[in-house]
Amino acid sequence: MAKIPSSDVLAGGWAKLVYYTLGALHDFAYFGYITVQPLIFKRVLEKLAPFEQYSFEITIFVISTHLFWQVLLETPTGAYADSRGRMRAVREHFLIRVGCMLLLLLAIYLSANSQTSYGPWVVLGCLFLIEFGMAAAEALLSGSFDAWLVDTLAASGEKDEAGETFSKAATLFNVAIFLAMPTFIYLVSFDGHQTSYFVTGLAAVVFVIGAMVAHASRREVYRMGSEWAERSKATIKSTWQDGLNYLWSDRIVWWTTLLRAAPFAAWVVISWFWPLLVKYTPGAQASAGDPPNTRNLLLALALALAIFRILGSTASYFVQRLTGSLAGLLSGTVFNLLMAFVAGLSLIYVNRSLLDTFTGLSTEPSSPLMTPALFFGAGLVLAKGSEEVVKVLNQIFLAHYVQSDTVRATVISFTEAVTSLIGFILINLGLIITWGQQPQHKAPLLLLSVASSGVILAIVAGLMLRRLLVRVPIAVPQAGD
């Protein structure tokens, strides 16, 4: 592969600035959007007669297809980015997200104005297409963005600064997420469809700015050659072959993958659908503007989840130094699922909506509903925080266990795909359980079902891992490694 002349490569300082800017723009718009996405989808579906009664289940199912599509698209999009250019893939990722936002604007408009018999099905098709596009965009961005920075810094003679850049970027991106979640929740809490238009348009504008910055920075370290294209095609085949072989031949990798997958469905339900868990009152009330006290409670929970996300990322560093990565992984998984289970169980005991409960508590502070409501809030934020710890400990364990750099990258990539697929299955099994239930029972039963199935999977995987590691001792990293 011939290198591009140095004059065509961004200087290291500019590359870092581009990385910081694009990452902050992406995380602000993306995490802000996905925070309110289930509320917008549910508002849209509630306007359509064929789907009104099952708007909760359809919203969860449509959004969960994101996991399925990402499994199929992850490797092909990675090969595309390698062959056509990594920053080009980043730019096209932003453009796809813009297209998804335009589709959502169309769906919002049609749900409120279409009078045809086929209109609802067109809207539903738009929602499915949005999730396919968002998954394709995520797959394009995954790995390409970081690889572009490392390649560019290496070409500028500053590769040693990559670690420091990633560390600073993580802090900046967390700040962007911290600002995005309450901002989008605040904006969408006002009157119905008008705020849905505004929030979707805001995300689209930020994605457009990101696409413009990416286009202006579209300089690649490596030229696009036919030999690289052939290698990329081979990568698709070898990744799946190597991943399947490893899962089939190495029981430790297999059970570690299942252990990682155990809490994943609960993570998705909490991270993607928490507004529906908190506010699942059915009917026209869901499309009306929220009163100030309701809006304040939503904002408080959004801030708490963002803060515990940051705290979880920070705590993972200390946890892995205090305990072995496997012991920490098992403990963190159990704690995470326990908190999700507590949140779901507590939600059963509150009124039709947690927000209705808190609104009632403002006038009746001694209400017996105070305890389950507080348990729900605590369980939710602690589950979110411990999620970050479990993710890091899983990566550390596999990084130490799989010695080859090439094989390790393949195994980690493939285990993430398997995890997403299992998460998709468990979430939709939970939807089957909630089907036909009373509206006020759907949200807590979904969370309880994914947490319970995760507990069973974690127990089996944990016992098998302990049995394997006792029978065939391996160099598992211990505290302080």
Q: Determine the pLDDT at residue 354.
A: 66
- Judgement on whether residues 249 and 389 belong to the same structural domain of the protein: yes
- Judgement on whether residues 254 and 384 belong to the same structural domain of the protein: yes
- Best CA proximity match to 322, nearest among 481, 102, 132: 481
Range of the structural domain that residue 335 is part of: 235-481
Residue 2 lies in a domain: no
- Best CA proximity match to 289, nearest among 160, 162, 187: 187
Residue 206 lies in a domain: yes
Which element (helix H / strand E) includes 475?
none
- CATH number, domain of 373, equals 1.20.1250
**DSSP collapsed to 3 states, the chain:** CCECCHHHCCCHHHHHHHHHHHHHHHHHHHHHHHHHHHHHHHHHHHCCCCCHHHHHHHHHHHHHHHHHHHHHHHHHHHHHHHHHCHHHHHHHHHHHHHHHHHHHHHHHHHHHHCCCCCHHHHHHHHHHHHHHHHHHHHHHHCCHHHHHHHHHHHHCCCHHHHHHHHHHHHHHHHHHHHHHHHHHHHHHCCCHHHHHHHHHHHHHHHHHHHHHHHHHCCCCCECCCHHHHHHHHHHHHHHHHHHHHHHHHCHHHHHHHHHHHCCHHHHHHHHHHHHHHHCCCCCHHHHCCCCHHHHHHHHHHHHHHHHHHHHHHHHHHHHHHHCCHHHHHHHHHHHHHHHHHHHHHHHHCCCCCHHHHHHHHCCCCCCCCHHHHHHHHHHHHHHHHHHHHHHHHHHHHHHHHCCCHHHHHHHHHHHHHHHHHHHHHHHHHHHHHHCCCCHHHHHHHHHHHHHHHHHHHHHHHHHHHHHHHHHCCCCCCCCCC
Q: Is 480 left (phi over 0), alpha (psi -120 to 50) or beta?
A: left
Last residue of a domain, one of 179, 195, 224: 224
Q: Determine the pLDDT at residue 236.
A: 54
- CATH number, domain of 213, equals 1.20.1250.20
Beta strands in 338-438 (DSSP E): none
Residue 338 lies in a domain: yes
Residue 442 lies in a domain: yes
- Judgement on whether residues 216 and 249 belong to the same structural domain of the protein: no
- Judgement on whether residues 15 and 156 belong to the same structural domain of the protein: yes
Q: Determine the pLDDT at residue 141.
A: 86
Residue 357 lies in a domain: yes
Q: Which stretches of the chain drop beneath a pLDDT of 70?
A: 1-12, 159, 190-193, 219-247, 280-294, 316-326, 351-369, 395, 399, 402-413, 470-481
Q: Determine the pLDDT at residue 207.
A: 96
Last residue of a domain, one of 224, 249, 280: 224
Q: How far apart are CA 172 and CA 184, in angstroms?
A: 18
Q: Is 466 left (phi over 0), alpha (psi -120 to 50) or beta?
A: alpha
Residue 229 lies in a domain: no
- Judgement on whether residues 207 and 277 belong to the same structural domain of the protein: no
CB 135 within 8 A of CB 73: yes
- Judgement on whether residues 203 and 331 belong to the same structural domain of the protein: no
Last residue of a domain, one of 182, 201, 224: 224
- Judgement on whether residues 373 and 429 belong to the same structural domain of the protein: yes
Tally of structural domains, the chain: 2
Per DSSP, the residues of 74-95 read HHHHHHHHHHH-HHHHHHHHHH
Residue 176 lies in a domain: yes
- Judgement on whether residues 250 and 389 belong to the same structural domain of the protein: yes
Residue 255 lies in a domain: yes
Q: Determine the pLDDT at residue 284.
A: 39
Handedness of CA 247, 248, 250, 252 (dihedral sign): positive
Q: Determine the pLDDT at residue 481.
A: 45
- Judgement on whether residues 204 and 303 belong to the same structural domain of the protein: no
- Judgement on whether residues 218 and 262 belong to the same structural domain of the protein: no
- Judgement on whether residues 196 and 325 belong to the same structural domain of the protein: no
Q: Determine the pLDDT at residue 478.
A: 46
- Judgement on whether residues 295 and 377 belong to the same structural domain of the protein: yes
